[in-house]
């Protein structure tokens, strides 16, 4: 995978190498079986990490699912098959598979779990996913490095069938946007000790504070819509306790915790979703450097929201020019997103000076002109308005001539002829 920033932790790079080695071993094994794989990427614990239990965003069912996955890794080793939904459901005593699926989506959105790769055979047949489980939520830059579809997943999760998944995914994106608008580089290096201290303070504080991927503002919004105040969402999470089997079955018949019910509890957050479509001046599509990954392009759109629409392509051209300069001996650029963020800030502050992007812009304009020349000129349709007016005039000449004749007035043709003779 492409490096997203210099600030990627050494541990993450080591984990990347570990996963790659695991993939090689997996591909060399039995190709006939189809199953997901999973790695536990943290220190070996005699018990579960305290942060999993203390996480104010995760609901009890989300924490149980994390623990069930962790149990599978602890029993069979760090590299193991990802547990099936049935295994998780039975181990955590959860009523439905949809609840397990929802919890896995929340864990991925909050970065406790990352989808590292999708394995396929040479024929293209899907073999399974490779997940990575973490002992604390990853920084954004690490999640973007390991999970190539993370930003797209967040965007698509805003339309998920479960209200909680929609709220959490929207909260993560809103926190990213909030940091960008505040002038913070969301891909900058983060001191892990500072992150853990902030998390500990958020857990102990009665007032909302920043907790890993979530800003204080978003934390307050998520708490105000917590499922503890929503009976429908709470019913969807009920464990399938043996002693309460009858009670639960009757309860589900009267008001099942289905996706349709959850949709009724949707907050206004999804309606306030911002549009970050990559468009420049006059809504023309932006041309991104090919070096940027899908994750980086999704994040670039959010960075570019800082500048005016007519300035966005200029910024991208400068970034492309910086990439090309590496071929001429300039030092390689490893922190692409931080560099793009600096360009956006400079443009927004009136300090931007176009340099390396001039040649890129000229080539882009030349390509566009050549493309327009190759296109056949559209045939201009006749002006239907003028034709219609002429038809109306022609249709009115006959009745007008009859009226002049009935009034004893000479026709316009006769009158015009007399005028010509007098001259």
pLDDT in tens, 267-290: 444 434 565 556 777 788 999 999
Q: 31 and 120 in contact (C-beta within 8 Å)?
A: no
Dist. CA 162–CA 225, nearest whole Å = 14
Q: Does residue 359 surpass a pLDDT of 80?
A: yes
Q: 57 and 214 in contact (C-beta within 8 Å)?
A: yes
Burial of 305 by CB count in 10 Å (0-12 exposed, 13-18 middle, 19+ buried)? middle
Please name the residues in contact with 316: beta carbons below 8 A apart, sequence gap of 6 or more. 286, 287, 288, 289, 300, 304, 357
Q: Does residue 166 surpass a pLDDT of 50?
A: yes
Q: Which two tokens stand for residue 323?
A: 């990439």
**Least reliable range by pLDDT among 10-19, 138-147, 273-282:** 273-282
Phi-psi domain of 377 (left: phi exceeds 0; alpha: psi -120 through 50; beta: other): beta
Angle at the Cα of 332 from the Cα atoms of 329 and 334, rounded to 5 degrees: 175
pLDDT computed for residue 14 by the predictor = 83
Model confidence band, residue 24 (pLDDT cutoffs 50, 70, 90): confident
Burial of 152 by CB count in 10 Å (0-12 exposed, 13-18 middle, 19+ buried)? middle
pLDDT computed for residue 128 by the predictor = 82
- Beta pairing class for 113-120 and 126-134: antiparallel
**Least reliable range by pLDDT among 248-257, 344-353, 368-377:** 248-257
Q: Of the segments 27-36, 123-132, 228-237, 402-411, which one has the largest average pLDDT value? A: 123-132
Dist. CA 69–CA 61, nearest whole Å = 12
Please name the residues in contact with 84: beta carbons below 8 A apart, sequence gap of 6 or more. none
Helix or strand run (H / E) with residue 244: none
**Least reliable range by pLDDT among 60-64, 233-237, 312-316:** 233-237
Percent of the chain with pLDDT over 70: 75
Dist. CA 354–CA 417, nearest whole Å = 72
pLDDT computed for residue 89 by the predictor = 94
pLDDT computed for residue 361 by the predictor = 92
The stretch 177-195 carries a mean pLDDT of: 90
Q: Which of 270, 250, 178 has the alpha carbon at shortest distance from 216?
A: 178
- Beta pairing class for 37-41 and 79-81: antiparallel
Q: 69 and 133 in contact (C-beta within 8 Å)?
A: yes
- For residue 93, report the phi and psi dihedrals to the nearest 5 degrees: 60, 50
What is the CB neighbour count within 10 angstroms for residue 419? 9
How many residues make up the chain in this entry? 423
More confident residue, 203 or 9: 203
Can you name the residues that pair with 279 across neighbouring β-strands? 285
Full strand arrangement of the beta sheet holding 126-134 = 79-81, 37-41, 126-134, 113-120
pTM for this prediction: 0.71
Dist. CA 125–CA 54, nearest whole Å = 40
DSSP state of 382: P
Burial of 373 by CB count in 10 Å (0-12 exposed, 13-18 middle, 19+ buried)? exposed
The stretch 244-256 carries a mean pLDDT of: 40
Q: Does residue 389 surpass a pLDDT of 90?
A: no
Please name the residues in contact with 404: beta carbons below 8 A apart, sequence gap of 6 or more. 410, 411, 412
Dist. CA 63–CA 52, nearest whole Å = 6
**Least reliable range by pLDDT among 118-127, 210-219, 305-314:** 118-127
Q: Which two tokens stand for residue 225?
A: 């819509």
Burial of 275 by CB count in 10 Å (0-12 exposed, 13-18 middle, 19+ buried)? exposed
pLDDT computed for residue 71 by the predictor = 87
Q: Does residue 247 surpass a pLDDT of 50?
A: no
């Amino acid at each position: 995978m492409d490096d997203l920033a210099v600030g990627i932790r050494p541990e993450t790079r080591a984990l990347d190498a570990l996963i790659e080695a695991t993939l090689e071993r997996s591909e060399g094994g039995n190709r006939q079986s189809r199953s997901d794989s999973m790695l536990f990427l943290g220190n070996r614990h005699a018990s579960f990490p305290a942060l999993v239990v203390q996480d104010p965003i995760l609901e009890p069912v989300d924490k149980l699912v994390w623990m069930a996955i962790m149990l599978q890794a602890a029993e069979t080793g760090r590299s193991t098959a990802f547990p099936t939904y049935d295994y998780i459901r039975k181990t955590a005593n959860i009523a439905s598979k949809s609840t397990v699926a929802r919890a896995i989506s929340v864990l991925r959105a909050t970065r406790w779990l990352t989808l590292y790769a999708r394995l396929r055979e040479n024929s293209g047949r899907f073999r399974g996913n490779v997940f990575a489980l973490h002992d604390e939520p990853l920084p954004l830059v690490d999640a973007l490095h390991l999970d190539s579809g993370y930003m797209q997943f967040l965007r698509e999760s805003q339309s998920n069938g479960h209200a909680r998944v929609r709220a959490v995914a929207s909260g993560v994106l809103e926190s990213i946007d909030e940091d960008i608008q505040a002038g913070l580089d969301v891909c900058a290096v983060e001191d892990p000790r500072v992150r853990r201290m902030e998390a500990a303070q958020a857990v102990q504080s009665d007032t909302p504070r920043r907790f890993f991927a979530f800003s204080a503002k978003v934390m307050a919004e998520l708490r105000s819509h917590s499922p503890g105040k929503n009976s429908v969402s709470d019913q969807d999470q009920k464990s399938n306790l043996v002693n309460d089997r009858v009670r639960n079955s009757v309860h589900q018949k009267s008001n099942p915790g289905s996706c349709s019910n959850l949709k009724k509890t949707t907050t206004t957050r999804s309606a306030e979703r911002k549009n970050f479509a990559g468009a420049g001046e006059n809504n023309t599509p932006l041309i991104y450097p090919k070096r940027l990954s899908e994750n980086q392009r999704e994040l670039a759109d959010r960075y570019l929201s800082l500048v005016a629409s007519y300035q966005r392509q200029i910024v991208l051209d400068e970034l492309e020019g910086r990439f090309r300069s590496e071929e001429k001996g300039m030092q390689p650029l490893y922190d692409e997103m931080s560099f793009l963020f600096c360009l956006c800030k400079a443009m927004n502050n009136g300090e931007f000076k176009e340099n390396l992007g001039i040649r890129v812009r000229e080539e882009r304009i030349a390509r566009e002109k050549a493309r327009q020349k190759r296109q056949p000129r559209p045939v201009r349709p006749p002006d239907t308005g003028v034709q219609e007016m002429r038809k109306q005039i022609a249709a009115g000449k006959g009745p007008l001539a009859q009226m002049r004749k009935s009034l004893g007035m000479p026709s316009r043709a006769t009158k015009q002829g007399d005028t010509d003779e007098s001259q």
